[in-house]
């Protein structure tokens, strides 16, 4: 089983699937409307409330992922995580919350 997690600017999405012949079959999907981009302040930093929402979502995804026998997981951050000036502070906490590297 495999997991793919997209940490987008508006929502975080998780798909867990299994290889079924020549295709992937999704067995679990989750989506949290985080609006991370809306949590950027005037200085380009993620606000504490945006970080809190992100960590809550990732902890939930991590809990769900532990219920499946995963052989691989990929967690990717998109634009907001690339442009936020305080991403380096968030990433270690986020990786701990979800249990996988980002």
3-state helix, strand, coil in the chain (%, to 5): 40, 35, 25
Structure-block tokens of residue 38: 């809306």
- Given the structure tokens 């993620």, which residue do they identify? 46
Q: What is the pLDDT of residue 13?
A: 97
- pLDDT for residue 20 is more than 90: no
Q: What is the pLDDT of residue 88?
A: 93
- pLDDT for residue 42 is more than 90: yes
Which sign does the torsion angle of CA 83, 10, 24, 60 carry?
A: positive
Q: What is the mean pLDDT of the chain?
A: 95
CA distance 7 to 20: 26
Indicate the domain borders of the chain. 2-98
pLDDT band per the 50, 70, 90 thresholds, residue 95 = very high
CA distance 40 to 58: 18
Q: What is the pLDDT of residue 21?
A: 85
pLDDT tens readout for residues 46-85: 999 999 999 999 999 999 999 999 999 999 998 999 999 9
- Does domain 2-98 correspond to CATH entry 3.20.20.10? no
Q: What is the pLDDT of residue 22?
A: 87
| Predicted model pTM | 0.91
């Amino acid at each position: 089983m495999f997991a793919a997690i997209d940490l987008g600017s508006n929502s975080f999405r998780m798909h867990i699937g299994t290889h079924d012949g020549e295709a992937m079959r999704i067995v679990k999907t989750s989506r949290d409307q985080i609006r991370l981009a809306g949590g950027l302040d005037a200085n380009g930093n993620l606000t504490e409330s945006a970080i809190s929402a992100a960590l809550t979502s990732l902890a939930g995804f991590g809990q769900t992922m532990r219920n499946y026998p995963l052989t691989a997981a990929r967690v990717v951050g998109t634009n907001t995580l690339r442009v936020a000036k305080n991403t380096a502070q968030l990433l270690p906490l986020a990786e701990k919350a979800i249990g996988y590297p980002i």
